[in-house]
Amino acid sequence: MGYPIASLPFAQWLERFTEASKTVPDLALAPLLPLFSGHKAENHEPIGPSVQRHIDSGNTITGLASIGIGCPRVSHEVLHAYFAYLIGKGHFPPPQ
């Protein structure tokens, strides 16, 4: 039961992600493609070699905590809630 998940080498995953960003018009993750490769998400033109990026969310976490908003750690329960919401809104098909 659930969704099938395959473990892929990064290069193969990036190739599939890049192809999907070209062929799936409303792929929500397409704007994130430049984070993983040296291509522009909107037209897939090379912009240079891929570089390692470090994204620090510390200031965001601290700022949200100061106004009483906590970000839960990823857990089975949190993922279940996220998937239930996305399935309920029609963004994902129910698992088989």
Alpha carbon distance 37, 43 (integer Å): 13
61 and 81 together in one domain: yes
Predicted confidence band of residue 84 (pLDDT cuts 50, 70, 90): very high
Between 69 and 10, the higher pLDDT residue: 69
pLDDT (0 to 100) of residue 3? 81
The two structure tokens encoding residue 77: 């329960």
Provide the domain limits for residue 94: 56-96
pLDDT over threshold 70, residue 73: yes
Classify the phi-psi angles of 45: left when phi > 0, otherwise alpha if psi is within -120 to 50, otherwise beta: beta
46 and 14 together in one domain: yes
Q: Which of 23, 1, 3 shows the shortest CA–CA distance to 86?
A: 3
Domains: count for the chain: 2
64 and 95 together in one domain: yes
